[in-house]
Amino acid sequence: MILATGSTGTISSALIEELAALRAPTRALVHTPEKTSIVEREGVEVTVGDLGSPETLDAALEGVERAFLLTPPDPHQPEWEKNLIEAAECAGVRHVVKLSALGGEANSPVRFLRNHADGERVLEKSKLSWTFLRPNSFMQNMLSNAWSIASERRLYSPILDAKVTLIDARDVAAVAARMLTEEGHKGKVYELTGPEAVSNREAGERLPTVLGRPIECVEVSFEDARRAMVGGGMPEWQAAGVIEPARLQEAGYAAVLTNGVAEVTGRGSRRFEEFARDYESAFLGDSSAES
């Protein structure tokens, strides 16, 4: 049995689809009963539990041999990961695949990258075998710009020209599925990127080819970006957590290219244009009938 945490999120929902296609016995952990229907599908069990409440994890981990550990960016992330790891040890889980992040180091200037480093260290010191997946930024993060692209035909960014080897979250899920169903990945670290380094400006220039309409790229300051996020309801800590990696991207640290996806899956990672086509409706919004 495989346990998937974060099961209603972008990566784990794609992972569950991959595991279902492989007919791998899978249990999806959801935070509340109301979210059960989101991940229900043939061959997938759904269980309710809270990483912040360790006493709720025993039932979720019963009979589980392998687990996918994904926690959202949050000040409590290290605590949540520690809870799952300790509960997995007690439950007799053999292997944990942890979703980490490219650049996850203890001395990183980015708080959430430091959090990932903390989780990796706890797992390394545990009795469990492990695999770390360290993807670069996701193409799906661009969906945060979907509203302005659909309604204003504008892409706003404080780092228009920073090159990033964006990766499609579905490719990360495909790699994770292999880690959870195959042998030979214990103690390994996989750095995962897309097939090329693309800037936000270049992405904005490519979108019209897919959407059939022009997109204007508008550079904003980091402070204006922070204000916009907070004004839209994002907590201050989260807005700061978005700005910090953007500053690293501006400095060129996210342009690294790896062959991790092809190494594991035997196929190359998706290009930006394929992502854009698959999410075309989000970028077009309700105005998709307009020319």
Query: Per-residue pLDDT tens for 154-167?
Result: 999 999 999 999 99
290 — pLDDT class (breaks 50, 70, 90): very low
For the chain, the domain total comes to 1
Helix axes 169-181 and 10-21, enclosed angle (nearest 10): 50
- Cα distance between residue 119 and residue 78, in whole Å: 6
3-class DSSP state of 90: helix
User: What is the rounded average pLDDT of the residues 2-28?
Assistant: 92
What is the model's pLDDT at position 42? 66
Assess whether pLDDT exceeds 60 at residue 251.
yes
Asked if residue 270 is part of any domain, the answer here is no
Is residue 252 a part of any domain in this protein? Answer: no
For 184-202, the pLDDT digits (tens) are 999 999 999 999 999 999 9
Residue 237 lies in a domain: no
Residue 64 lies in a domain: yes
* CA distances (Å), origin 11, targets 17, 68, 175: 10, 11, 11
Statement: residue 39 has pLDDT above 80: no
β-pairing, 44-48 vs 66-69, is unpaired
Please tell me the predicted confidence (pLDDT) of residue 217.
95
Burial 11-21 (b: 16+ CB within 10 A, else e): bbbbbbbbbee
Q: Domain span at residue 79?
A: 2-136+167-192
User: Of all residues in the chain, what percent carry a pLDDT higher than 70?
Assistant: 97
- Say if residue 288's pLDDT is above 60: no
Is 152 part of a structural domain of the chain? no
Residue 264 located in a structural domain: no
* Local confidence band at 32 (pLDDT 50, 70, 90 cut-offs): confident
Residue 231 lies in a domain: no
User: Tell me, what CATH number does 176's domain have?
Assistant: 3.40.50.720
Please check whether residue 55 lies inside any domain of the structure.
Answer: yes
List the single range of 41-45, 56-60, 87-91, 126-130 with lowest mean pLDDT: 41-45
Rounded to two decimals, the pTM is 0.92
